Amino acid sequence: MSPKGKTFSKCHGQPNDKKKSVSCDSSTPIMKKLDELDKEVQQLRLRQNMLATESAIQELAERGKRANNLIIYDIPESSSDQPLQRQEHDTKECKMIIASLTKKVNCDDIKVIRLGRQNSKNRNLSHPVKIQPDQTVMQREYLKYLRDELERRTSNGETDLTIKYIHDPPKIVNRTDIKN
């Protein structure tokens, strides 16, 4: 007697044989269940592929939206309480920074949004301004993974490693392999 009181009288072979195989007619309940499970696995694989494709398409679209964005850190804040004056100050500062880096960018049509809360304390911003591309969550998570991997590899004794952007995605490379 099998589980749940069903017998499989149409099956041949013993489960305890060395090969651990049993052959059954396709009409037996176990074979029908296996067929159902196989179809379910195929549907799950198809669904997983569709979700992965959709996720990749969404990621590419999000990267496209952010392609012309920059995040500029540590710009001194305006001391004004007026939002319009604060916005004008931030825009002026950003235009000056961009203009000092390149003449190829038209700064007349830029949109500036300050991230984070207003800081009422005057911070000492003696360190330089930092500029980074606006990255998606997936890009930031991948970069964090690379930093963790770099830390793991250097703690295991590997030397002269760095993270370098080579043809878009960042990679861990040996400093001696970097061509200027």
Prediction pTM value: 0.62
Alpha-carbon gap, residue 136 to 59, rounded angstroms? 8
- Mean pLDDT per 10-residue segment, the chain (180 residues): 46 54 67 89 94 94 92 86 90 90 83 80 71 92 96 95 86 83
**Model confidence pLDDT, tens digit, residues 16-52:** 555 555 566 666 788 888 889 999 999 999 999 999 9
Measured distance between the N- and C-terminal CA atoms of the chain, rounded to whole angstroms: 75
**Residue 112 burial by Cβ neighbours in a 10 Å radius (0-12, 13-18, 19+):** middle
